[in-house]
Amino acid sequence: NSIGSGLGCTILPAYVAPLGVSNTVVRPLDVELPSLDLFVSYRKNTESVGVKRFIDQLNKVFHLDKNLD
């Protein structure tokens, strides 16, 4: 990769930091991070257990506004 070869740099999510490679440096950025509005779309009356579980997990992580129709 270009980082390990000394040819570049990149911005990584925090969860990647512990996976560091021996010849690279990982430093946290001390800046306010940008935000992005994300949306999820699904059928209103879905009976799919998979969709319901996925939405439940999204709500746990992102605290979805369930009042939107």
Does residue 20 fall inside a structural domain?
Answer: yes
Domain of 26 in residue numbering reads as: 14-62
What pLDDT is attached to residue 50? 93
What pLDDT is attached to residue 24? 81
What pLDDT is attached to residue 49? 93
Overall domain count for the chain: 1
Does residue 22 fall inside a structural domain?
Answer: yes
What pLDDT is attached to residue 48? 92
Does residue 6 fall inside a structural domain?
Answer: no
Does residue 69 fall inside a structural domain?
Answer: no
What pLDDT is attached to residue 68? 56
Token pair listed for 6 = 């000394």
Q: Using one digit for the tens of pLDDT, what is the confidence trace for 12-62? A: 888 888 887 777 888 888 888 788 887 888 888 888 999 999 988 888 887
What pLDDT is attached to residue 66? 65
Does residue 49 fall inside a structural domain?
Answer: yes
DSSP states of 11-67:
---GGGGGG--TT-------SPPP---------TT---HHHHHHHHHHHHHH---TT
Does residue 47 fall inside a structural domain?
Answer: yes
Does residue 43 fall inside a structural domain?
Answer: yes
| Biggest CA pair distance of the chain | 53
